[in-house]
Structure 1
Amino acid sequence: MRGRGRALVMLAAVVALAGVAVAYAAAATRRDAGPGRAVDLAASGRVLFVRNGRVASAPLGDPAAPVTVSGLTCQRFYAAAGTGVCVVVRPGPVPSTYAVVVDRTMKEVTRVQSAGIPNRARVSASGRMVSWTVFVTGDSYNRGGFSTWTGILDTRTGYAVPNMENIQLYIDGKRYRSADVNYWGVTFAADDNRFYATVSTRGRTYLVEGDYGRWEARTLRENAECPSLSPDGTRLVFKKRVAPEASARPWRLYALDLATMRETPLAERESVDDQAAWLDERTVMYGRQGDVWSVPADGGGAPRLLLRDAASPALGGPGHTGAAASMSAR
C-alpha cells in the first residue's frame, strides 16, 4: 500500500506539473511579442536566470540593480562559456519539448527534441557538453508513476543522446541492469568527459561518476541527488533527502568532499529542490520558493537573497567561447 500511495502522489505531482508547464509555455509564447533586450551570455560579473519565463541578466552583488530581460523563453536554462541551453515546451495540439542550444548572443545553434516537463539543465565549463532532464510519464515500468529522460549533447561533434538510460551502470562494482533505471541532474568535470549525476532504481537513488567516452557510470554513494561540481573539481554540492516525501522540508543541501567522501550540511535549512550552481569557489546559488539564494559551500555563514522572482541561475562569463557557435545548426 505504501508503494501504491507513493506512486499516486508522484502521478498527481506530474499531472499538476504538466498542466502548469503547458499553460506556462503558452503564456511565455504570448510574451514573445516583444523582442526583449540583448543579453550576452559571456559577459563577466553577471548572473543569468529565468524570470517570468524569459532569460534575464543582472550584475552580481546587487539584487536591486536593473535587470536586462531577453526575448528567449525557457522553462529551464543554464549557460557557461558563451553557450546556453534552453529547455522549453512549445504549445500545440501535442506540446513539444526541446533542448535548444544558443550561442553567446542567444542565437539558436541547434535543438534536440525531447518529451516531458523541463526539470534540469547544465553546460560544461568549456561550453562543449550540454545536458538536460525532463519528467515523462507512460514508460511501461512506471506503474502509475513517472520517469526521467536525461540527454547529453556534444556540441563539438553534434552527437546527441536523447536519453542516457542505456549507459552501462555499475552498482557496488557489479554490472547492473533494470528496466526502471532513471538518470537526472548531470554535472560535468573540466575535461568534458567525466561527469556526475543521479540514478534511481528500485526505490533507491545513487550518486554516480560517469565516463562519457567509455559510456559507463559507477555508483559512489546513496542519497545524493542533483550534484553540482565545484570549479576546482574537488567538491560536489547536492540535495539529500532528510525527511519523508510528505514532509514540508524533505531536502537539505550538502557538500561532499570527493577525496574523503565526507559530507557537510550547508547553512540553508529550508528545503531546496534544485540543482545548485557555483557562484565562485566558496559559494553556491540555487532556486528556492521563487527566488534565487546563495550560501557558503563550507557549511558556515547564512543564506543570502540574490534575486527576487528568479530561477535557473548560472554565472555569466567568457570561458572558452565558440563551442556551440562552431557547430552548424541541424
Structure 2
Amino acid sequence: MRPMSNGVRFGVLGVAVVLLAGVAAGYTALAADRAAPPAAKGSATGGTVTLTPGPRLLTITDRHLASVSASDPGGPRTVSTVECLRVYAAAGTGICLRPDTAWTYQVVVLDADLRPHQTFAVPGLPNRARVSPSGRFVAWTVFVGGDSYTSSGFSTRTGILDTRTGTTVNTLEEFTVIRDGKPYRNVDVNFWGVTFAADDNRFYATMSTAGRRYLVRGDLAARTVETLKDNVECPSLSPDGTRIAFKQAIDADPMKGWRLSVLDVASMRVTQTAEHASVDDQAAWLDAATLAYTLRQDDGRPDVWTVPADGTGAPQLLIPGAESPSPLAA
C-alpha cells in the first residue's frame, strides 16, 4: 500500500509544528514504553549499533537508533537504546536531535560507538539534521515560535557546529546574504535543510524570504550565502557533488505538496523522480544513483522508501517502520 498524498496536510510549516508538537506529547504519553528493551520489538535483533563506516544503513526505529544491512534493509535490524527524533551520520560522527524533557530538545554529537561527544540545548522542535562527509561539521534545523514578523508566529533556526574546534554558528541568519547578485537584508529571512560539500567549507541550504524559497550556496569561512535557484527546499548533495536532491513545491505552492526532484548543479536542470507522493523530507543519497526518504502512512507510521535519482524506475519500500535514513558506507 502506497502512503497517502500529504501535500495539503504538510503544505505549510505551521502544520509541521503542530505535528512535531504532537510527537513531543507522544514522548510523554509513551514514557512507560521506553522501558521495553528496543531489541525485543518487531524484527529487531541483538547486537551493537555503530557509526563506523560499512555496508549498513542507520535509521530510527520506535524512536531509537537502529542499523540494517545495506544488502537486506528490510530484514532484521539492530536497535540501540539511544533515542532520537532525527539522526544523520558520516565518517563515524553522528548527530542526534533528541528530547530532553517533554517540551525541550537537545543536539547530541555522537562518536562511532554512540557515546555523546557534545550536547547542548536547542530552542525549538527538531526538523533536519546533517553531517559533513568528513564528519567534522554537523548542522541542525528546528522550528521556533514567537517571531513577530511571521504570520504564523513561528520560524526556523539552523545552526552549524565545528566538532573539531567547537566553533558554533547559532543561526545562519548571522551570515551575509547575496540575493540575485546583490546584498540583501530582510527581517523575515529563514534557513533550513543544510547539506555539506566535501571541502568542509561550502554548503547548500534553503532560504525563505518575502514569500519565496531559494536554494542557497554558503561559504563557512566567508560567512556568506548566495541564492542560486527558486523553489528548492531541503537540498541533499550527491556523493560526487554534482547533483542536489530536493523537494520542489508543486506549482511553487507548498499547499499543493512537493515533488522529489534532482537538480544538476552545473546546468541547473531539474529532473523529477518517479515518486509522485508528496515528500516532506530531506532525502539521503544511498549511492550515486539512489535516493532514500521517509513517507508516512495514514496512521502516522513512517516507512523508508527509495527511488532512482534519474527519473526512471519506480518507488520501492526499503525499510518498513523506520525513518531518518542515513547511509554508513565509507
Q: TM-score range by the shorter chain?
A: 0.7 to 0.9
Give the 3 Å change call, closer, same or farther, for CA 52–28 of structure 1 in structure 2: farther
In 2: Cα distance, 1:179 partner to 1:145 partner: 14
Return the letter of the residue paired with 2:25.
V
The answer to whether residue 194 in structure 2 is matched with residue 191 in structure 1 is no
Q: Deviations over 1:81-128 (max 9, x none)?
A: 110000012225xx3211100001000000132111110000011101
Look up the match of 2:269: 262
The answer to whether residue 308 in structure 2 is matched with residue 305 in structure 1 is no
Q: Deviations over 1:184-222 (max 9, x none)?
A: 000000001000000001111000000001000000010
In 2: Cα distance, 1:167 partner to 1:124 partner: 19
In 1: Cα distance, 2:31 partner to 2:98 partner: 10
Return the letter of the residue paired with 1:242.
I
Q: Deviations over 1:144-182 (max 9, x none)?
A: 332001110011111112222111111001111111110
The answer to whether residue 34 in structure 2 is matched with residue 27 in structure 1 is no
Give the 3 Å change call, closer, same or farther, for CA 10–307 of structure 1 in structure 2: closer
Give the 3 Å change call, closer, same or farther, for CA 76–25 of structure 1 in structure 2: farther
Residue 31 of structure 1: SS of its match in structure 2? helix
1:76 to partner: Cα distance: 0.5
Return the letter of the residue paired with 1:237.
A
In 2: Cα distance, 1:305 partner to 1:14 partner: 27
Give the 3 Å change call, closer, same or farther, for CA 245–221 of structure 1 in structure 2: closer
Look up the match of 1:15: 18
Look up the match of 1:278: 285
Among all aligned residue pairs of Structure 1 and Structure 2, give the percentage whose two residues are the same amino acid: 53
In 2: Cα distance, 1:125 partner to 1:57 partner: 19
Alignment equivalent of 1:132, drawn from 108, 129, 140 = 140
Q: Which moved more, 1:254-263 or 1:189-198?
A: 254-263
Return the letter of the residue paired with 1:137.
G
Q: Which moved more, 1:143-152 or 1:251-260?
A: 143-152
Give the 3 Å change call, closer, same or farther, for CA 277–13 of structure 1 in structure 2: closer
Residue 21 of structure 2: SS of its match in structure 1? helix
The answer to whether residue 106 in structure 2 is matched with residue 98 in structure 1 is yes
The answer to whether residue 215 in structure 2 is matched with residue 212 in structure 1 is no
The answer to whether residue 70 in structure 2 is matched with residue 60 in structure 1 is yes
Q: Are the aligned partners of 1:211 and 1:217 in contact in 2 as well (CA < 8 Å)?
A: yes
Give the 3 Å change call, closer, same or farther, for CA 12–254 of structure 1 in structure 2: closer
The answer to whether residue 248 in structure 2 is matched with residue 240 in structure 1 is yes
Alignment equivalent of 1:252, drawn from 247, 259, 266 = 259
1:43 to partner: Cα distance: 4.2
Look up the match of 1:4: none
1:15 to partner: Cα distance: 3.3
TM-score, length of structure 1 as denominator length? 0.88
Q: Deviations over 1:4-27 (max 9, x none)?
A: xxxx97545523431322323663
Alignment equivalent of 1:143, drawn from 136, 151, 157 = 151
Q: Are the aligned partners of 1:26 and 1:90 in contact in 2 as well (CA < 8 Å)?
A: no
Give the 3 Å change call, closer, same or farther, for CA 307–211 of structure 1 in structure 2: same
Alignment of 1:112-127 (within 5 A): 112-127=120-135
In 1: Cα distance, 2:310 partner to 2:19 partner: 36
Q: Are the aligned partners of 1:284 and 1:295 in contact in 2 as well (CA < 8 Å)?
A: yes
Gaps of 5+ in 2: 1-10, 40-46, 297-301
Q: Are the aligned partners of 2:91 and 2:134 in contact in 1 as well (CA < 8 Å)?
A: yes
Q: Which moved more, 1:40-49 or 1:191-200?
A: 40-49
Give the 3 Å change call, closer, same or farther, for CA 219–85 of structure 1 in structure 2: same
The answer to whether residue 83 in structure 2 is matched with residue 76 in structure 1 is no
The answer to whether residue 232 in structure 2 is matched with residue 224 in structure 1 is yes
Residue 125 of structure 1: SS of its match in structure 2? coil
Look up the match of 1:174: 182
In 2: Cα distance, 1:164 partner to 1:25 partner: 31
In 2: Cα distance, 1:22 partner to 1:89 partner: 11
CA-atom RMSD in angstroms = 2.1
Q: Are the aligned partners of 2:88 and 2:96 in contact in 1 as well (CA < 8 Å)?
A: yes
Give the 3 Å change call, closer, same or farther, for CA 49–25 of structure 1 in structure 2: farther
In 1: Cα distance, 2:14 partner to 2:76 partner: 40
